[in-house]
Amino acid sequence: MAPPATRTALLGYLAAISLLLHCLLPSLAGADFVYNGFEHAANLSLDGSASVLRGGALRLTHDSNSLMGHAFFDSPVQVVRGNSVISFSTAFVFDIVTVDHGGGHGLAFVVAASKALPGASYGIYLGLLGENTNGNSSNHVFAVEFDTMQVRRLNETDSNHVGVDLNSVVSNVSEPAGYFDDDDDGRNISVKLESAQPIQAWVDYDGRTKVLNVTIAPVSVPSRPHRPLISRAIDLLPVFKREMYVGFSSSTGEKLASSHYILAWSFSTEGAAKAIDLSRLPKVPKQAAPPPSLSTVIEITASSCVATLVVIAAAIVLALWIRRRAALTEMLEDWELDHPQRLPYKELYAATNGFEASKLLGAGGFGQVYKGVLRCSGDEVAIKRISSSGTQGMREFVAEVASLGRMRHRNLDLLLVYEFMPNGSLDEHLFGRAGAVMPPKPLLTWGQRVGILRGVASGLVYLHEEWEQVVVHRDVKASNVLLGADMAPRLGDFGLARLYEHGADPATTRIVGTLGYMAPELTVTARASRATDLFAFGVLLLEVACGCRPIDPVTGESLLRRVRGHHVSGDLVRAVDERLDGCYDKKEARLVLWLGLMCSQSRPEARPSMRQACQYLDGELEMREEAVLVFSDVDSLDVGSSAFLTWSSCNTMSGGSLLAGR
């Protein structure tokens, strides 16, 4: 045994060596720390929306849009020695709280060369990377993401997944979040990340075998599952620099937000990370305190007894600020009474690959229309997106929808979900698609045309008379008639034209409708009615029978006038589409043309009701070709004004009022 003096000398000598080593490798001792809550946490660098709350929870983002937050251990950690990656191990507890369904975007454990994460952005990039940096091998960013969105553009297959990211948010490996139960035959049990329950995660990397293991389990599971969720050989050497920073990153999206919390964290490069004391986890604050943001889609299903009808569903996305959760609950109940289905915004976002340009079906007067596939049902849908950032009228309309629920809001989008109609719109079939290089569609046969018209007619009967209240369509036209796989028509956009009128200054009220389909009285009263729908339906009848636009885009000729001319000269069927080459039922063609003229008479009182029009089409009412139609002087100038003051035999009730008025 050495005498005490020698021992002291020896210790001094060893200390000197270790001091020397420290000088050679400054500050790069292994890291080994544990935070059981962050209340008095020194040595953490926070940025963005990250903050430590009273009580000790580290909140990376709160429930607001377009945030990102980072939290790093403030000293770098040596992760590469010589030519190999040092083994590391970390465990942490996170908690993702979303108000109502549909939050975003997730959080990640990150090992990066810089605490600043240059170029990083919120939303799908999770605050890790950005559009310009994603996938660049000089990023030196490694992350394990806990992602609550499905972004197909990033090849994500699930809206609740765990992924391993190497310099890119397109994960190298990813699995739906879950764990393998140790007891129950290793059954795979799924874990909902945004469950507002604390979930523990373990990330272990073995530098020798280059195997990365990721394991998660709700803290309620008594012990760490033995089998990792992800166990994969991954060489981190190309991603890592000698010194890296370790920490967390999280983001929210433009529409979807969650609060992302880290409750405890342990990290080590010197063996397994120390166990977290689960009995001392900080509490996540109750949601009541800050007004949470809500992103909800309410889908209104207009269930229809008439097969041919109409809008399948309308969804309203309300990206809203709600004062109290109670208000929300009430509101949803209100809606749900009438409208059975709701879809989270997220679902529609996923269905359209984030409203990707390649999914665009077309753009109309109200906004863009995207094709999508609903994950829940596999249904193909067309989603029309109307942004409240549009016109004043639109903003007010959307605001009114929100006010139904007594909600206050900042940004709202209106998303209308329709059944996808693979055969596009009727006008494309009749006239080809304007300006498109699409192959021309096969000519509609006469039988198909009549079938379509009957379908549209019964749809309108439903709106005018069978719906619980009278609904005026306001914009009946060929481009609003969409065709399903079997060429069965659906009339789109009913009642939506109200949007245009809404909020308009009464003194300058714009007329709603489409040129060529507008009843003459609209220019006087500017008030849509069932009769103005009938007028437009009449024009549609003529258009389909003749295969001509209501107003010829080249010559400006009015189809209505032309057919009236044929009527007056007693040769109606001459107006029938020449491309049919005589292949049509003459009697039926006369009926359609005559009914078209009946419906498009200038005097609203002279037009039949929608039900009568339907009965004529179905042969339940007898056509009376000899009945003289009422055209106004303006309409009939070149038609022969003998028709002018004569009464049509068909509408005696309103006929009385017409005569009385004269």
- Enumerate the known binding-site residues for ATP: 384
- Report residue 602 as tokens: 């200038």
* 211 touches, from ligand ADP, ligand NAG, none (C-beta below 5 to 8 Å by class): ligand NAG
Q: What burial class does residue 209 get, using C-beta atoms within 10 Å of its C-beta: 0-12 exposed, 13-18 middle, 19+ buried?
A: exposed
Decide: is 421 part of the binding site for ligand ADP (CB under 6 A). yes
Which residues form the interface with ligand NAG (CB under 6 A)?
Answer: 33, 42-43, 136, 138, 155, 166, 170, 172, 175-176, 178, 188, 204, 206, 211, 213, 227-229, 231, 234-235
Q: Which is nearer to ligand NAG, 228 or 253 (CB)?
A: 228
Q: Which is nearer to ligand ADP, 123 or 550 (CB)?
A: 550
Q: Count the residues in the chain.
A: 662
Minimum distance of ligand NAG from residue 168's CB (angstroms): 8
Instruction: Judge whether 475 counts as a catalytic residue.
Output: yes
Q: Which is nearer to ligand ADP, 401 or 497 (CB)?
A: 497
Site string for ligand ADP, 474-493 (x = CB under 6 A): -----xx-x---------xx
Minimum distance of ligand NAG from residue 120's CB (angstroms): 13
The vertex-383 CA angle with 379 and 388, nearest 5°, equals 150
Q: Which of residues 374-393 bind ligand ADP (CB under 6 A)?
A: 382, 384
Minimum distance of ligand NAG from residue 196's CB (angstroms): 22
Helix (H, G, I), strand (E, B) or coil at 548: coil
The single-letter DSSP state of residue 112 is E
Helical residues (DSSP H) of 582-636, grouped into ranges: 586-599, 610-617, 633-636
Side-chain half-sphere exposure of 427, counting CA atoms within 13 A: 13
Q: Which of residues 492-551 bind ligand ADP (CB under 6 A)?
A: 492-493
22: part of which helix (H) or strand (E)? helix 4-24
Note whether 120 and 133 are within 8 A (CB). Answer: yes
Q: Which is nearer to ligand ADP, 334 or 419 (CB)?
A: 419
Report the alpha-carbon distance of residue 407 to residue 445 in Å, rounded.
51
Q: Which residue out of 100, 475, 577, 635 is catalytically annotated? A: 475
Q: Which is nearer to ligand NAG, 204 or 635 (CB)?
A: 204
Q: Select the span of 232-240, 241-249, 414-422, 523-531 touching ligand ADP (CB under 6 A).
A: 414-422
Decide: is 362 part of the binding site for ligand ADP (CB under 6 A). yes
Decide: is 648 part of the binding site for ligand ADP (CB under 6 A). no
Q: Which of 291, 424, 495, 503 binds ligand ADP (CB under 6 A)?
A: 424
* 369 touches, from ligand ADP, ligand NAG, none (C-beta below 5 to 8 Å by class): ligand ADP
The four Cα atoms 261, 266, 267, 270 give a dihedral, to 10 degrees, of -170
- Report residue 327 as tokens: 């208000």
Decide: is 366 part of the binding site for ligand ADP (CB under 6 A). yes
Binding-site residues: 384
Helix (H, G, I), strand (E, B) or coil at 145: strand
Minimum distance of ligand NAG from residue 87's CB (angstroms): 7
- Residue that has been written with the tokens 């019964």 in this structure: 458
Note whether 213 and 85 are within 8 A (CB). Answer: no
245 forms bridges with which residues in the sheet? 112
Centre a 10 Å sphere on the Cβ of residue 21 and count the other Cβ atoms it contains. 11
Which positions are catalytic? 475
